[in-house]
Amino acid sequence: MNRHLWKSQLCEMVQPSGGPAADQDVLGEESPLGKPAMLHLPSEQGAPETLQRCLEENQELRDAIRQSNQILRERCEELLHFQASQREEKEFLMCKFQEARKLVERLGLEKLDLKRQKEQALREVEHLKRCQQQMAEDKASVKAQVTSLLGELQESQSRLEAATKECQALEG
């Protein structure tokens, strides 16, 4: 392999455009990583220096890619841990949500039951009030009857005494 062809192939590996760099005459351009781009000289004079710069830049790029890959792996791992913790937290919250929903349903049923019991108790209180009122009326009626009967008893007793006196008077 001749020297010019080998230099061209080496420079092709590090060129972002992918085209041969041996024919380009670029001096001091910025690469995407912020480092000065390689100098490409068309003549044979700068071949060893150009090759050395290509190799150095190639190594720097490999190191940068390796470092970027390591950082990406770490970030990916952090993301996976974060996703796992988020999944666990979501499952925990869903469990608590289900428990809360069941509790709300149970409390709702208890509320309905207590409402029914309250309505039943109010009906019973109304019934007891009516019974009490009826008993008060019955008591007044019985009292009136007792008073009437006492009056009749006193009247009967008075007549009996009068009849007893008459009988004694007739006997005497």
pLDDT digits (tens, 9 = 90+) for 90-100: 999 999 999 99
Mean pLDDT of 120-148: 94
d(CA 48, CA 54): 10
pLDDT tier at 18, thresholds 50, 70, 90: very low
pLDDT tier at 43, thresholds 50, 70, 90: low
Residue 32: the pLDDT is 52
- Single out the residue of 17, 103, 7 nearest to residue 55, CA to CA: 7
Residue 33: the pLDDT is 54
